[in-house]
Structure 1
Amino acid sequence: MKKTLLKNLIVLIAVGVTLGGCKKEAGPVGPEGPKGEAGAKGEQGAPGTANVIYSDWIPLPAKAVFSSPMRKNFSIQAPEVTLDVIKKGLFYAYLRHGSSEESIVPLPYAGTWVNTTTNEVIGSYLSTVLVGVGSISLNQDWLTPGAIPATFANATAVSGGYTHIRYVIVPAGLKSSSTARVDFKNYESVKKVYFEK
């Protein structure tokens, strides 16, 4: 009886191994099912500003709030400038002559002072921007040692013929890849990414 059970067990194992090792042929591929309906189209996203804030062209004040022979200071309201922007964000500013898009310079900017009678360069000045909560200040400082020309020393308007300022704020927390393609020293690069739609 034990021999019969043992033989039956061996036969069952042999049959199982044989059947388990057999490969089955795949059947033919069935027909393609019907195409599902398309989902609703999403709304067009905003142009790729990546949360960057930019001002309009702001007219520069006609008169400095502080004026000394070596420094002129012009105050401009900038409500988007917050303490968080000052501590963690990035701030860029540009000056423009009148309405010309061809005469835009990034700040800081070093300008030359020319004697209008002789066309001789007699010195230079530096235009910079200081950032405070809710406002910015355009500063113009005389750089050249020695006598300061009376036309700069007594001036109360912005030097260099600049009439407008624009600023761009990159808030904290943006991935670097969102601003990596922008050369903020080149206004045309900034314009192409943020202002043109």
Structure 2
Amino acid sequence: MKVIKDLVKLSLVLLLSVSIFSCSDGEDGAIGPAGSEGPAGTQGDQGTQGNPGDSGDPGTANVMYSDWIDTEIPVLVASPNTVFDIEAPEITTEHLDRAVILVFGQRRVADGATGAILSTNFQLPVTFISNGIYRAQILSPSASDKGVAVVRIRLDTNDGTNIDTGNYLQRYRYVIIPGGQLIKSASAKSTVDYTTMSYKEITELFNIQ
């Protein structure tokens, strides 16, 4: 009798186990519909401003420059000063108002050993003890008699005597740096002062050939 009772109990346990496992292996139900969107969260605090970046290199796309132009000042001049004009139709009224216009003079001599031509360039104005002061003045089209802007080269002797080496500087060229790039002043201390730069520095800065 005891054996029969044990068999009945064992059968009930097995049936219960099969029922439990059968329920756990059923297929997943269908995904229910999405719930409604919750309210937007509050805006976070604004982050601190980053440090300003370094200034970029000056642009070169709009910089213009002339060819080298031979002087028209002769060796001997029967006066203590003289001028000659270089027509510069590229110089506009806007350039005269906002651009930086630089003028350079060039001294060319032959090397005694090789005969090669050696060039030295000077930004005007420049003074030579034995030759005088070379200056450049930019005239607007309305101020010149040529109908276009003019770069006027002026030479004055240091002592008021007549000029006897007028072509010490034999060639000239001008460079136009547009875009409101102002010469350094009390109100623009961070602006580059191009008038203090050498010819080499200017040509490297603006990729002038």
TM category, shorter: 0.5 to 0.7
Residue in structure 1 matching 2:98, options 68, 79, 88: 88
Aligned to 1:54: 65
Cα distance change on mapping 1:181 and 1:83 into 2, 3 Å: closer
Residue identity (%) = 22
Q: How does 1:66-85 map to 2 (within 5 A)?
A: 69-85=79-95
Q: What is residue 112 of structure 1 aligned with on the other side?
A: 129
Structure 2: where are the runs of 5+ without partners? 1-57, 110-116, 141-148, 184-190
CA RMSD in angstroms comes to: 3.4
Partner in structure 2 of residue 185 of structure 1: 197
Alignment: residue pair count: 131
**Alpha-carbon displacement from aligned partner over 1:48-72 (angstroms, at most 9, x marks no partner):** 41411111111222559xx662211
Q: Counterparts of 1:90 and 1:79 in 2: how far apart (Å)? A: 16
Corresponding residue of 2:207: 195
- Is there any run of 5+ residues in structure 1 with no aligned partner, and where? 1-46, 114-123
Runs of 4+ displaced beyond 4 Å: 181-184
User: What is aligned with 2:159?
Assistant: 144
Q: 1:73 to 1:196 in 2, by over 3 A?
A: closer
What secondary structure, in the 3-state scheme, does the structure 2 residue paired with 1:143 have?
Answer: coil
CA distance 1:174–1:50, change in 2 (3 Å): farther
> What is the CA–CA distance in structure 2 between the aligned matches of 1:110 and 1:62, rounded to whole Å?
16
Using a 3 Å threshold, how does the CA distance of structure 1 residues 71 and 190 change in structure 2: closer, same or farther? same
Aligned to 2:20: none
TM-score, length-scaled by structure 2: 0.51
1:73–1:172: structure 2 CA closer, same or farther, 3 Å change rule?
A: same
TM-score (norm 1): 0.54
1:171 aligns with 2:178: yes
